[in-house]
Amino acid sequence: MSRIAYVNGRYVPFHSAKVHIEDRGYQFADAVYEVCEVRAGRLVDARRHLDRLDRSLGALHMPMPMSRAALGVVLHEVVRRNRVDHGTVYLQISRGVARRDLAFPTAAAPSVVVTARALNRDRIAALAATGISAVSVPDNRWGRVDIKTVGLLPNVLARQAAIDRGAREAWFVDHGGAVTEAASANAWIVTEQGRLVTRRADHAILGGITRAVVFEVAKAQKLDVDERPFTLEEAYAAREAFITSASQIVVPVVRIDGRTVGDGKPGPLAVALRREFHRFAEEE
């Protein structure tokens, strides 16, 4: 079955979907995006994702291109037309098409693109069952990564650095030696005392939707969570480590910079958080 994309009011074949060469998302990364999990054909945590979309658009002084209800219809329709049972739906909104100039255009209409794709559930489950490796890289991103923009070149380079070093994920480390987050996920550790630790959702990290749900799971399981910076040395010495994201949920990290975390196997807390996640996520 051929894939279908939504582009500025039209559902079109994926292979022929196009945006203008002077779209500001293409030329300036003047755009925001969201990625929402699809499970059994239904969107997971769509309300939370649209709330974050509102915040990102507001931070860039960019208008919402349509009502939330209408946008929800588009997201569902793209999922339906692509027959995605388990996967993700991707939404991108740019400031629109205008003559190339750094200043905001006065009359451009936002550009909207939505795509959906299936993910191999068994492959992701296998990664979670064995755990992944991560490497540390300097955090050289701009100071507002809490805004979910498409300006992801540092993330691209970090992920490639991980692959080049035989790992799957990269963990950014700031100038003070503290871990901020992963290239495409939030980063967590479990201390020897059994406390979950993840950085506070400030300007230095993206406030992950999956991260927020994991807080609810942890609370229900009466687990202690500390929102604070943690160093690489703490991560090396941790009992467990893991990442959270919409496409992967919870995936244990069993090696960091070639050093074994814990006993080198997925830890019980990460496994439990992954198992219970969808009991607390909002499924439509």
- List of residues 6+ apart from 50 with CB closer than 8 A: 34, 68, 71, 72
Pairing of strands 111-118, 86-94: antiparallel
User: Is 148 one of the catalytic residues?
Assistant: yes
Among the listed residues 91, 83, 168, the one whose alpha carbon sits nearest the alpha carbon of residue 118: 83
Options 148, 219, 222, 265, the catalytic residue: 148
Tokens of 185: 């996920």
Question: What letter represents residue 242's amino acid?
Answer: F
Cα angle 82, 36, 55 (rounded to 5 degrees) comes to 135
Residues annotated as catalytic are 148
